Structure 1
Amino acid sequence: MKKYTVVLLTVLIIFVAVAASVASAAENISNGNNICKVIATHYKCDSWSDEQYPLIDLCEEEYVPLFSSEDEIWQSHVNKLAGLILDSNETHTLKPGETLDLGNGYALEVREIDIDSEDVLLEFTKDGQHVSDQNVLVDADGNSTWTVTLDNVQGENDVVVMKINVKQVFVGTETSVIWIDGIWLIDYASARTLTIGDKIGEFTLKQIIGGVDASDSGSLVFVNISVTDATSVANYILVANETSVYDSLAIDFSVSPSREKELAKFTNKSTGLPTSWYWNFWRAFNIKSK
């Protein structure tokens, strides 16, 4: 007869969660939070160098909060975002019938150049489908900007989606050419409206702060729920889910005896967000086998 002794430990686990009130959670920024602010950004095109548009960086990708042609920067919709495709001051020359690929299925085509008036008919398309067109007349200073606005973009109207600056038009006897020296474009077709709890990469949206004035254009506050900082996790649950951290705790351990080492293996299957725990080993049993 061989005797094996297995120590079975009865475990008392006390989870201590650090929580704050909803008000203080909204006001305080804890470790693990990422604050993404709306920044007033100058256009790269020289003709628009004194103008700005709202820009926000999320996980190293640039997005534009939707704004109308009449909005100030701080009045943009901070949680309604479209990816920035182009903000360019590169020069492009196009002849009638030629198309400029703008990326993501967007394109600009020169439909016609009027020899007499020297105005240009431009068409803006998405995936080969017509979006908008405009007769652009170059002014005496040699510049003309076409600003494309669309309605019903994530529920908003008069949203600026593209700007094109025609620098010059050359009309010849055999061919005509236009020079474009400024293009700004957002991916409005893939725009999205963020709500509390939405994820961007490893971060989860915790708070949406609207713009107040020119000094504060608004921001989005994200929390990385993989961090171990107790306060940031507790704040996230309180603000985003409006529930108590204690409601999410569930204690669960399994025990697997090990004959070789005469010990018991405990596997932690508990769920929730514990920040500390206390172990109390207070009883042992001897088990004999024949």
Structure 2
Amino acid sequence: KITMKNHEKILLKKGEDIDIMGKLKLRIADSNTLRFAPFIERCEAGKYILRGTVAEKEFKWTPMNFEGFYYNIDDGIGTESLIVEKIEDRIIEKHKLEYKSQPQKVKFEHEEWGELEVMGFLAEKYFVGYPCSKFSDEISLISRGEVAKVLIDNEEKKTVFSGSSLLLEEGYELKIKEIDQQGSSVFLELYKNGILVDIDTVSSNNDYVYKSDIGSVKTIPIIIVHIDKIFKGTEINAVIVEGIFQVSQEYLPIEIGMKYGLMEVTDISADGITMKNIDKISLARDKVIDIMGNIQFRVADSCNLRYYPFIERNTSPLESLSISVPGTIIEGESVKITVSSRGGVIADAVVSIDGNDIGLTSQEGTLKYLAHAAGKFNVVASKDGFVSASKEIEVISRNDETPKITIELSNDEIYEGDIITISTVKALSGEAVAGVELFYDGKLIGNTSEQGKLEYVVKDPGFHKIKTIPNGFLPAEYNVEVIAREPKYVFSGLRTIPMYPRVKENMSFLVEVTNIGTAAGEKQVDLYINSSLIDSKKIILNIDESALLNFTYVPDKAGRYTALVETESLDFEVEKKSIITSAGIQLAGILIVLGAGYPMMKKIGKNGSRHQKKGL
């Protein structure tokens, strides 16, 4: 047993994160009303599981007991709930699992902008409209059956230098083109995927606003950037950005009857969304059940019913730090380390060398480092709310500085068939070195040009070594990995139709497959049931293309089965076929004669996707 207590008072100051112990912290709401919650800072990229309270019977989950749901701690607002209304013999009956979410007004992180309307949907934060403000008239997306993800909402200070760009999402970047002579305004250019889409001039303590279409809503603000201060100097011109907001243009349409996993939209209006389960849900022991979107149930492997909801979430790679520092330094000299994110420099980032902290970055995002000793060292930059960055540097003795050169490659990631540019430069000055013989895995591939460059086509996947034998310089080498261009398939969402099959009746197994690899490919996909091969499909998918596979099966007896398609497995039960008596058949015939029999059709809405899909 371990017991720990705080050894001094802890002040719960609004708007702060407090280090408690290890990675455990307390987040205090930026509000006059005291609200606080423990959390673990997830600074490294990866997948994390967020789970809810364990239930043993009917239960209701909200953001207070399910961390996966959207919650704004500053405003004390959560919009989502999931209710299990009735369970009998581990079965949630049809329409007894209900999901609700209502739009709410919350403050922008940059509070001077006022409020926007958001709601959680499938455990993600979505934008649903603006109240009347200086940016926009009152607009409601949700009343039109549309929502869009909030991509950025922060007020982190960033310094962006003239000629540089503030990197946004979905291919947008805001370039600081020019600052006027008085240093009172800045000329901005907005690009999307390299194409100029907007220009504007903004003065200090004012906002840049870009409007575009989201679904059926025209000219709505999708990007807002607050230009806090502008600096005009003799050598450096820069702006300080304090507040960025961006909403996605890739909207999600929602309509009654649209299905998400096991759930169906039963109501949608300006007041919110309601979804209920389409069919019975069996909480079979030791089972993971895909409910909708990224929300799943995990059921305990126990005779006693215990289950909880959870989601898997990845950290965002675009909230990563970046380090700029010379790769080679002369022993005894000082260099400048710059830490940035999204193209803007970051203040108060912790910089360490081989695990030893050397200080915090300044308001300009920089920190001076004096290289005391020769050798190779690892530089790491970290800050709460960002994915850490690292870079290896080499400090060389002054006796080695003249004859040392380095090899540089044009590509960060190299795939087979790529044309790469190999450069040879002096280690310290970066001056190009011409006439250097280059060897690839021991084979001479040519000499560098007057610009110190040589192009080469890489072919074989794997690890290779580039070496030099220059006159008057020390030999240099570079280890390069060539990645194979090959398809990579990801399978998800294995499910049955109907959910509760019967003996001697046709059933279908649906599974989605996506090619996330670096080349198109062909693959045979097999369905196994209780380890026996049942059905096969052949697919041909391009990069980022998806297909929905449909396998068929007719069970010959009742019982428990296990289906397997690649990495996806599913346990299901086959029920005995119901027996209709002759009296029942006669009654059905009477009803048909009287006109009671009629075909029933359901309208199934289509959900937009970033992938092209094929039905097979």
Both proteins in one fold, TM over 0.5 = yes
Map 1:244-259 → 2, pairs under 5 A: 253-254=503-504
Q: Which residue of 1 aligns with 2:98?
A: 33
**Among candidates 80, 101, 105, match of residue 146 of structure 2:** 80
- 1:226 is displaced (CA, Å) by 4.9
1:225 aligns with 2:287: no
Q: Which residue of 1 aligns with 2:179?
A: 113
Q: Which residue of 2 aligns with 1:42?
A: 107
**Among candidates 206, 222, 228, match of residue 144 of structure 1:** 206
Q: Which residue of 1 aligns with 2:459?
A: none
Partner secondary structure for residue 274 of structure 2:
strand
1:183 aligns with 2:244: yes
Partner secondary structure for residue 101 of structure 2:
strand
**Among candidates 106, 117, 120, match of residue 57 of structure 1:** 120
Map 1:142-221 → 2, pairs under 5 A: 143-150=205-212, 152-188=213-249, 190-200=250-260, 202-210=262-270, 218-221=271-274
- 1:99 is displaced (CA, Å) by 1.1
Q: Which residue of 2 aligns with 1:286?
A: none
CA distance in 1, matches of 2:238, 2:115: 29
Amino acid at match of 2:269: I
- Runs of 4+ displaced beyond 6 Å: 277-281
CA deviation profile, 1:153-211 (whole Å, cap 9, x unmatched): 312222110111011011112221100000000111x123222233445533221112x
- 1:134 is displaced (CA, Å) by 1.2
Partner secondary structure for residue 226 of structure 2:
strand
**CA contact 2:141–2:217 (8 Å) conserved in 1:** no
**CA contact 1:148–1:163 (8 Å) conserved in 2:** yes
In angstroms, what is the RMSD of aligned CA positions? 3.2
Partner secondary structure for residue 173 of structure 1:
coil
- 1:35 is displaced (CA, Å) by 0.9
Q: Which residue of 2 aligns with 1:272?
A: none
Unpaired segments ≥5 residues, structure 1: 1-28, 211-217, 230-247, 256-264, 269-276, 282-290
Partner secondary structure for residue 89 of structure 1:
strand
- 1:46 is displaced (CA, Å) by 4.0
Partner secondary structure for residue 105 of structure 2:
strand
**CA contact 1:66–1:160 (8 Å) conserved in 2:** no
CA distance in 2, matches of 1:54, 1:108: 25
Partner secondary structure for residue 218 of structure 2:
coil
Q: Structure 1 residues 181 and 227 mapped into 2: Cα distance closer, same or farther (>3 Å)?
A: farther
Partner secondary structure for residue 112 of structure 2:
helix
CA distance in 1, matches of 2:183, 2:110: 25
Amino acid at match of 1:129: I
- 1:37 is displaced (CA, Å) by 0.8
Q: Which residue of 2 aligns with 1:22?
A: none
Amino acid at match of 1:198: M
Q: Which residue of 2 aligns with 1:285?
A: none
CA distance in 2, matches of 1:154, 1:40: 21
CA distance in 1, matches of 2:257, 2:263: 9
Among the aligned pairs, what percent are the same residue? 20
- 1:98 is displaced (CA, Å) by 0.3
**Among candidates 136, 139, 164, match of residue 98 of structure 1:** 164
CA distance in 2, matches of 1:205, 1:124: 38
Partner secondary structure for residue 195 of structure 1:
coil
Partner secondary structure for residue 208 of structure 2:
strand
CA distance in 1, matches of 2:261, 2:158: 35
- 1:117 is displaced (CA, Å) by 5.6
Amino acid at match of 1:57: G
Q: Which residue of 2 aligns with 1:3?
A: none
Map 1:122-137 → 2, pairs under 5 A: 122-137=188-203
Partner secondary structure for residue 234 of structure 2:
coil
Report the TM-score, using the length of structure 2 for normalisation. Answer: 0.30
**CA contact 1:59–1:201 (8 Å) conserved in 2:** no
Amino acid at match of 1:161: I
**CA contact 2:96–2:277 (8 Å) conserved in 1:** no
Amino acid at match of 1:94: V
- 1:279 is displaced (CA, Å) by 6.9
Partner secondary structure for residue 103 of structure 1:
coil
Amino acid at match of 1:171: K
CA distance in 1, matches of 2:105, 2:280: 31
Report the TM-score, using the length of structure 1 for normalisation. Answer: 0.60
